[in-house]
A and B are shown apart, each in its own frame.
Chain A
């Protein structure tokens, strides 16, 4: 009873973000835009340009989901979330999907009542040290001072790794990546540790990137991916299969350039036909248009293209595909069968 009265008052105030209903898909369609929980700023993954347009690897996934649901890659509102506020914001319904370099872990999946429908980047925690230190392995870091971002899984991994190897260290917690970089460059810490992608992205912007090495040890598994609320499986399916569509499209050679051509008429490849909606009714099964994947791929291309444009070797971040290569190339990216 109080609920209706209260909501009446709030609806009048006009500032309610609406009521988070069980069906996120309906909310997004009614709103006409996707609320995507994003990073406040991480080079290569999410950053604003001078005109205020967001760009990056994670941003592209948000746009792809928006394109799948609403047919428009620009229909996204980016809600900045800190590493501390991200999961509560998602649980409270402030965002529809969280694409913010979040690691899929057991507790997050179960105890925090989240779902990680897909993995869009396989990462691992690594260490970066100045070349001048002459360190070639993390085992030699006994007594080192380590800069580390708080509020992430990295600080737990770090404690575990050093304890397991019986070596001591001094943690220097930093609030943001930018600050960690500043501390590291000034020599306030010997080692900077975070996900290897983050290390590479950070190193890429140094004055002399060659003076720093990323140590070979990878001390944790960090499968990063979009997160949604637990329980809304229809919405989780859309996020999962949008990610898979990007990956599968790369495997089948569907790109931003040729997607329109391939979607114009059925091709010889039935998998491509089903993906692009020229054959079968896959779109309708997840409550989307038949050509949803065409829209997804028209925004920024397939997974490989997004990777190359934002964090690939040709960019400042300069990451190799590594684990994120297609399974056909020895990586872990394995787009689910569209059938």
Chain B
């Protein structure tokens, strides 16, 4: 049948490739498939375009005609009218106050700023020793600092004046990384454990020995328990560590009226402060504010609630009816009542529940309340992780002869927590967003600061710009967190299939 090849109507050479007919390739094809595949789809597309256009045409001119350089809202309005614009955002308020929105009234490190950016005036005023070392009284200092801040750019103040919160934030990323990215060396976890003490020292300042000694005291408690349990059994170990904890942190002899000997920690601290008085200037919690406050409350809430949440989740699964009942009621009561009610409890009622005469910091009370709140939600997340583990894992642990705590620590929790990480991150995002509620109890969160800023006669009557700035900050933070949690979910899913 080779003769067929010579038949005239069969081509032997290939036709040159032709461009596909219009409409089945390139952008047109894409448009047809994705936007106009049918009458309904076309209608939807047109509708969507209309919605997008009407939103953007209303907002974009306002945003991009924005005025960045003005001293007050009235100046903004004058500039707007002078330019003949119908509407224009007054971004000048952000330009002037963004540091306040980020850090509230957290004090800047003025000696550093003065040495770096205001050296001549500092020398003229008599040098750092005079200005900050006691030569100036507080009023003179405030005047000097105000003049300096007017002179130094906001960016310089941001990086050098607020180096303490920035360093705490940077180290937070380092501390969290080994937890979130499992391919980093495990030894970094030691830093994660030390981080809370470092962050406390950086943010609140004061003597360096307080966080160091608290960390060492906790370490001593754990080590003593471990060491002792080798000799006197696990229960004995527990008792030993409780005793060690008591003499370091508490005054067990207070009951019989012996004061002054215990707790050991303040004694040690006093001695060390006498010899090596190292530390940073102390900052009271009242000065904390802005976005920094949201991060502090959110992060400490989640970190502190993690152990409590795990304990509650385990307790909820416990075979002991009392323990189970207590955990279930705790979780349900906390979850059944809105956070804002808990915050009011923290701000107005917690003092009633404490021993008479004790008061402590509103920020600390809020952190405690938020921790309890988050722990109930985390308990449910961890419970989901525990439930997702195949029953064989529990049975395998039992058949190896591990006791409850060992099987939990070595077999169950590592797997359950790994599955729970996306849920934990989501809880964190929710908690982080909910930190805005502290405005109702008078903490200076970003929204609270918008009120304070609007109370000045320059910026009275401005709100869109401030809301958009605060909303944008939260959006950026939460968006990246949620993207991360989605990435984790995808990765974990492949692991388990």
Contact = CB atoms under 8 A, between A and B. Distances in A.
B92 to A, nearest CB: 11
B397 to A, nearest CB: 36
A182 B359 CA distance: 37
Interface string A72-97: 11110111111011001100111000
A42 interface: yes
A137 to B, nearest CB: 28
Contact of B456 (A5, A6, A14, A47): A47
Given A16-B358, A178-B451, A52 B105 contact: yes
A204 interface: yes
B208 to A, nearest CB: 12
B284 A77 contact: yes
B97 to A, nearest CB: 6
Contact of A205 (B287, B443, B460): B460
Main SS of the interface on chain B?
A: helix
Q: Which of A21, A48, A81, A206 has the most CB of B within 10 A?
A: A48
B210 interface: yes
A6 B358 contact: yes
A43 B452 CA distance: 9
A8 interface: yes
B138 to A, nearest CB: 4
Given A8-B251, A40-B442, A92-B359, A47 B150 contact: no
A48 B139 contact: no
A18 B359 contact: yes
Interface in B262-304: 262-263, 265-266, 284-287
A82 B141 contact: no
B100 interface: yes
A177 B457 CA distance: 13
A231 B285 CA distance: 28
A185 interface: yes
Given A51-B150, A53-B146, A82-B441, A5 B461 contact: no
Contacts of A35: 286
Interface in B207-266: 210, 214, 249-252, 254-255, 259, 262-263, 265-266
A316 B457 contact: yes
Interface in A201-235: 202, 204-207
A18 B145 CA distance: 30
Given A15-B285, A77-B286, A178-B451, A48 B442 contact: no
Given A15-B285, A181-B461, A53 B142 contact: yes
Interface string B335-355: 000000000100110010011
Contact of A43 (B265, B359, B460): B460
Interface residues of B, number: 65
A281 to B, nearest CB: 25
B255 A48 contact: no
Interface string A9-53: 111111111111100000000000001000111111011111111
A52 B100 contact: yes
Contacts of B149: 50-51
B443 A80 contact: yes
22 contacts: A11-B266, A12-B214, A12-B249, A12-B263, A16-B358, A19-B357, A19-B358, A41-B451, A46-B455, A47-B456, A48-B100, A50-B149, A53-B142, A53-B146, A79-B362, A80-B443, A85-B441, A93-B359, A178-B454, A178-B455, A207-B461, A315-B457
Those 10 A-B pairs whose CB atoms lie nearest each other, nearest first: A41-B455, A4-B254, A74-B138, A205-B460, A41-B452, A8-B251, A47-B455, A316-B457, A92-B351, A88-B348
Interface of B: 73-74, 77, 96-97, 100, 105, 137-139, 141-142, 145-146, 149-150, 204, 206, 210, 214, 249-252, 254-255, 259, 262-263, 265-266, 284-287, 344, 347-348, 351, 354-362, 364, 440-444, 448, 451-457, 460-461, 463
Given A3-B355, A18-B359, A20-B359, 4 more contacts: A5-B255, A16-B358, A41-B451, A77-B284
